[in-house]
């Protein structure tokens, strides 16, 4: 909700989904793949393109394709896996989400977001 009480609906940033998946890679792929694809996703999340490219270059062709698949959150295959994995954590996510509390919030809130913050997207502040 904006200060003028209008509601602005933003498309969720892929960052949140990727963070959850990075935390639970073992749910989505065998441990041996997790060890090699994990650094690629970590570097994507930190927006460290040179490190991400270097990590991708170290992967076999099969693992490279799998990493690219996981980074494409618009892919129907990836989306289905993300949704299935999310079901395991619905209660945890509801507990930490501010969504259910925003309607009753009456105190003005000032969100400050650093221009150079490359970890949390401004839309997620």
Tens of pLDDT, residue by residue over 31-85, are: 555 567 788 888 888 888 999 999 999 988 988 888 888 788 788 988 888 788 7
- Which residues constitute the domain of residue 97? 14-124
> Does the residue 90 lie in any domain?
yes
Examine residue 109 and state whether it is found in any structural domain, yes or no.
Answer: yes
In a domain, 9, yes or no: no
Residue 95, in any domain of the structure: yes
Within a domain: residue 6? Answer: no
> What does each C-alpha distance from 55 to 3, 4, 49, 67, 115 come to in angstroms?
43, 45, 10, 10, 27
**Domain for residue 73, yes or no?**
yes
Residue 27's alpha-carbon distances to 1, 9, 50, 68, in angstroms, are 34, 30, 27, 18
> Which pLDDT tens digit goes with each residue over 11-39?
666 776 677 677 777 776 665 555 677 88
H or E element in which residue 45 lies? helix 31-45
Total tally of structural domains belonging to the chain: 1
In a domain, 96, yes or no: yes
> What pTM, to 2 d.p., does this model score?
0.55
Structural domain includes residue 88? yes
Q: Is residue 38 within 8 Å of 25, Cβ to Cβ?
A: yes
């Amino acid at each position: 909700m904006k200060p003028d009480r209008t509601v602005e609906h933003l498309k969720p940033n892929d960052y949140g989904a990727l963070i959850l998946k990075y935390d639970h890679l073992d749910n989505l792929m065998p441990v041996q793949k997790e060890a090699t694809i994990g650094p690629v996703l970590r570097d994507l999340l930190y927006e460290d393109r040179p490190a991400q490219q270097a990590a991708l270059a170290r992967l076999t062709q099969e693992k490279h394709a799998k990493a690219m698949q996981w980074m494409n959150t618009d892919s129907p295959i990836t989306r289905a896996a993300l949704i299935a994995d999310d079901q395991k954590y619905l209660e945890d996510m509801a507990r930490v989400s501010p969504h259910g509390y925003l309607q009753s919030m009456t105190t003005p809130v000032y969100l400050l977001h650093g221009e150079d913050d490359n970890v949390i997207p401004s839309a997620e502040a």
